[in-house]
């Protein structure tokens, strides 16, 4: 399988593919990190094994084909998988999949009638993260939600990552919840995005005056 996606939507039912990681550097001892970032959890949650990749939104034709809204960066990505999951215990085999007008038309093994297809309307399709070979400079967006945000211009932690908004055509936006409860937005692109430290759970940014104050 060739992975094509470079971004993915999240939180609104679409926590999935891949986000630019930036340079990964060591940042001192865990004790020093705890002192600098008091909001870091002592035990980081385990990454989700199964990630939401799309939603069945309708049926197509008389042979049980499904219309699937892809939550990947492009609908073609969803067509690359031979196996998807209705939940972590229910794998389904994809017999064919193609993109038509930004919707994935998909046929699943054993779903051969309009009635069987209609029964799946509204179900969310998942991927197993083990089925994705991520390049070294990419990570799953799901894995960075909740990370602490450190602003190098202000030389302090300003909050945590609440969401990554993907509807901006130029670049994604970080939605950051500050310590006083405000929501601020920072472009998830250079020169604002400096580094993502996956080991310590910290994203380093460099804001400009008036962006986060």
DSSP tag of 172 = -
23-26 own/partner pairs: CB under 8 Å, 24+ apart: 23/195, 24/195, 24/196, 24/197, 24/198, 24/199, 25/195, 25/197
Tokens representing residue 77 in the block: 């990505």
Pick among 2.30.30.240, 3.40.50.1010, 2.120.10.30, 2.60.40.10: CATH of 35-47+136-205: 2.30.30.240
User: Tens place of pLDDT for every residue, the chain, 213 residues?
Assistant: 223 233 333 333 333 444 443 332 223 333 333 334 445 555 556 778 898 899 999 999 999 999 999 988 788 989 999 999 998 889 999 999 999 999 999 999 999 999 999 999 999 999 998 988 877 777 888 889 899 999 999 999 999 999 988 777 788 899 999 999 999 999 998 999 999 998 899 999 999 999 998
Cα–Cα separations (whole angstroms), residue 62 to 57, 66, 103, 114, 194: 16, 10, 18, 6, 51
Sign of the Cα torsion 69, 74, 76, 81 reads negative
pTM of the complete model? 0.69
Q: Where along the chain do its domains lie? A: 35-47+136-205
């Amino acid at each position: 399988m060739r992975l094509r996606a470079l971004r993915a939507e999240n939180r609104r039912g679409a926590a999935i593919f891949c986000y630019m990681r930036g340079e990964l550097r060591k940042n001192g001892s865990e004790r020093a990190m705890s002192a600098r970032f008091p909001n870091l959890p002592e035990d980081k949650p385990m990454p989700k094994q199964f990630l939401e990749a799309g939603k069945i939104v309708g049926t197509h034709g008389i042979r049980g084909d499904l219309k699937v809204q892809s939550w990947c960066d492009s609908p073609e990505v969803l067509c690359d998988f031979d196996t998807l999951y209705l939940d972590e215990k229910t794998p389904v085999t994809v017999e064919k999949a193609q993109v038509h007008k930004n919707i994935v038309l998909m046929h699943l093994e054993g779903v051969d009638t309009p009635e069987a297809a209609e029964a799946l309307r509204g179900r969310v399709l998942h991927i197993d993260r083990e089925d994705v070979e991520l390049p070294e400079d990419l990570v799953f967006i799901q894995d960075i939600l909740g990370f602490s945000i450190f602003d190098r211009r202000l030389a302090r932690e300003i909050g945590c990552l609440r969401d990554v908004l993907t509807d901006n055509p130029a670049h994604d936006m970080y939605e950051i919840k500050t310590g006083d409860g405000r929501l601020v937005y920072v472009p998830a692109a250079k020169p604002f995005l400096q580094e993502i430290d996956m080991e310590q759970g910290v994203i380093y940014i460099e804001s400009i005056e008036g962006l986060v104050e």
